[in-house]
Amino acid sequence: AQTVTQSQPEMSVQEAETVTLSCTYDTSESDYYLFWYKQPPSRQMILVIRQEAYKQQNATENRFSVNFQKAAKSFSLKISDSQLGDAAMYFCAYRSLLGSGTASKLTFGTGTRLQVTL
């Protein structure tokens, strides 16, 4: 079974600065998807960024980018020019491409709570 580990329960960043959230995972599969989801306080979880394992190029979405190290099984999220609206719980998630049924499920890490200070 796959596992996802987020070793930083809480992080803090000053507005306009850059912060990196860590995520490692364990799998024996070669093809999979990785995701970062954001859950703002009292608001719905939304997708921030996605990475296909077969792609060597790191995904980027505006101020959000990932550092995907397949051999090291590492998938960190970098937030540049942090804004107050970035304050949220961030979850790293893994999705297998094999099989069906609950193989379609997402395996989540325990989350990192990001504070953004003035």
Partner 1 sequence: DVKVTQSSRYLVKRTGEKVFLECVQDMDHENMFWYRQDPGLGLRLIYFSYDVKMKEKGDIPEGYSVSREKKERFSLILESASTNQTSMYLCASSLMTSSYEQYFGPGTRLTVT
2 binds partner 1 (CB under 8 A): no
If one counts every other C-beta atom within 10 angstroms of the C-beta of residue 114, the result is 21
User: What is the C-alpha to C-alpha distance for residues 103 and 57, in angstroms, rounded to an integer?
Assistant: 25
Q: Return the residue of 9, 57, 71, 85 that touches partner 1, per CB under 8 A.
A: 9
Residue 24 structure tokens: 């490692």
108 binds partner 1 (CB under 8 A): yes
Instruction: Report the nearest approach of partner 1 to the CB of residue 107 (Å).
Output: 8
104 binds partner 1 (CB under 8 A): yes
64 binds partner 1 (CB under 8 A): no
Which lies closer to partner 1 via its Cβ, residue 5 or residue 83? 5
SS3 9: coil
User: Is 80 in contact with 65 (CB distance < 8 Å)?
Assistant: yes
User: What is the C-alpha to C-alpha distance for residues 64 and 18, in angstroms, rounded to an integer?
Assistant: 10
Instruction: Report the nearest approach of partner 1 to the CB of residue 38 (Å).
Output: 11
